[in-house]
Structure 1
Amino acid sequence: MTSKILNIAFLSDTRVDEPRNPNGTASSDLFLNLFESLLPPQTIINPTKFNVVKSRLPSDEELSSLDALIISGGFEDDAYSDHPWVFALGEFILRVSKEFPKIKIVGICFGMQLIGKVFGGDAGKNPAGLECGTVTMDLTELGKELLGSDLGDASNVNRMILRELHWDMVTAIPPAFQLLASSDLTPVQSMVRFYKEGSQEDLKLEDRVHIIGFQGHLDCSPLHHRES
């Protein structure tokens, strides 16, 4: 069987070269472990890493061969701040979505908040305050269909459990995006934008995803947050 190669760029938004969990594992490696567990056999991930705080972004030549971008969570600046690197990253994401539409975009925590902001929604402080720890969230009907089999709680298909640490959130979902999950403290826990209707109708639902965001940290414990 011929192997399929997926080229994925990991955009890190910290001033260190790469964020690591308490065990010393790099965030990008945790994401890769998660994706490898979800992808079909014979799929090989080819990762590249960019520190966007240091203005390191993929070139057009690199973008031409990419399959996906992952914008990580971080604690440097708010997604709604006016810091130059945040603005540059937001403009970059918008341009990639228009000029390189085959690239799927995944936003985690800060990444989803920035997506919410730049695509016409909004992001800001969560009036409920800090949401920290293992969070149970309700999946919408679309969320059950799209996420339930892979990321849903094994004991209850109506919900998803992720680890979280955030004060900010998406306060308004952008046009053309749809809600996938919410929690008691954070109404927008996950959202998705599909490719335009008519261009992807023959594909499976997951293959129609263009942009998806999660407030929770998939990289903290890939699939270990599912209850048995």
Structure 2
Amino acid sequence: MAPQLRIAILECDTPVDKINAKYGGYRGVFTRLLQESTVALNQPERLDPETGLDISGWDVVTAQEYPNLEDVDAIVLSGSKHDSFADHPWILKLVDFTRRAYEDPRIKIFAICFGHQILARALGVKVGRNPKGWELAVCEVDLSETGREVFGVDKLRIHQMHQDIAYGYPSEVVSLGSSPTCAVQGMYIPGKMITVQGHPEFREDIMDELIRLRTASGLFSQEMAADAARRAGLAHDGVVITVAFLKLVLGL
């Protein structure tokens, strides 16, 4: 029997109440995605869909707890409503841990939205507000040649919920793709990491609730909300992206 894949979810935020109650934090959201992707991978001799995943969750915001790197094979950095460029103590601690995980030759990394920006920051790239504004709901990403090879599709469709970006690429990474709103949509190092600016873990119910709450708070205009709502239920490639990460971890 193949050994379990030990994945630590760094929970960089708590989902909004309705979603948190349904899924059980970002650990629950990512666990569902990873389980679905293990089934889609369809290599039970390498990763058993029933028993192959050992997933732990770590509150890096309030508890500021982290796994021992020697006890895990991979880390997932979740998205967050917080600013990746802020200098709050918990964010600086996260940047430092991410840098150490990156420098550990054994650890694989999957970084999402805020987590993608944190990894870019850990590698010396400026992160901050996007002058082009928000990117919302299911959007298309134009893939690089490497992106098409990694994901096995010609164009990527992925949920977006961000107004912050990485302003460039660390010298050691390869671009996975871009969009008209965001030039740095993903970073890749073979055998080491995959990052995406979008949210492979999001589903229509998650997006609908975020749109509703952020429109009610005045963050989104009615026009933005209506446009995003039209795309919230479109098909997307969250499982495709996560299968690519599982292949990276397994050396496939």
Q: Which has the higher helix share?
A: 2
- Gaps spanning 5+ residues in structure 1: where? 153-157, 195-207
TM-score (norm 1): 0.79
CA distance in 2, matches of 1:174, 1:18: 32
CA distance in 2, matches of 1:137, 1:220: 16
Listed one character per residue, the Cα deviations across residues 53-110 of structure 1 (whole Å, up to 9, x for unaligned) are 0211113xxx2131110000011x2111101101001100111222x32110111000
Give the superposition deviation at 1:41: 1.3
1:57 aligns with 2:66: yes
**Please, what is the CA RMSD of the aligned residues?**
2.3
CA distance in 1, matches of 2:88, 2:40: 35
| Counterpart residue identity of residue 225, structure 1 | H
| Counterpart residue identity of residue 44, structure 2 | P
Give the direction of change, closer, same or farther, for the CA distance of 1:65–1:224 in structure 2 (3 Å limit): farther
1:113 aligns with 2:113: no
| Counterpart residue identity of residue 5, structure 2 | L
Aligned to 2:198: 216
Aligned to 1:199: none
Listed one character per residue, the Cα deviations across residues 195-218 of structure 1 (whole Å, up to 9, x for unaligned) are xxxxxxxxxxxxx2x122101111
Identity of aligned residues (%): 30
| 8 Å Cα contact 1:12/1:19 also seen in 2 | no
Aligned to 1:192: 188
1:41 aligns with 2:49: no
- Gaps spanning 5+ residues in structure 2: where? 205-233, 238-252
Q: 1:30 aligns with which of 29, 32, 37?
A: 32
Aligned to 1:183: 179
* Number of equivalenced pairs: 197
CA distance in 1, matches of 2:18, 2:55: 16
After superposing on structure 2, the runs of 4+ consecutive aligned residues of structure 1 that deviate more than 6 Å are 17-20
Matches within 5 A, 1:119-198: 119-148=123-152, 152=153, 158-194=154-190
Give the superposition deviation at 1:4: 3.3
| 8 Å Cα contact 1:126/1:167 also seen in 2 | yes
Give the direction of change, closer, same or farther, for the CA distance of 1:185–1:125 in structure 2 (3 Å limit): same
TM-score (norm 2): 0.72
CA distance in 1, matches of 2:16, 2:57: 9
Give the superposition deviation at 1:30: 2.9
Q: Which has the higher strand share?
A: 1
| 8 Å Cα contact 2:31/2:55 also seen in 1 | no
Aligned to 1:73: 79
CA distance in 2, matches of 1:121, 1:132: 23
| 8 Å Cα contact 1:71/1:111 also seen in 2 | yes
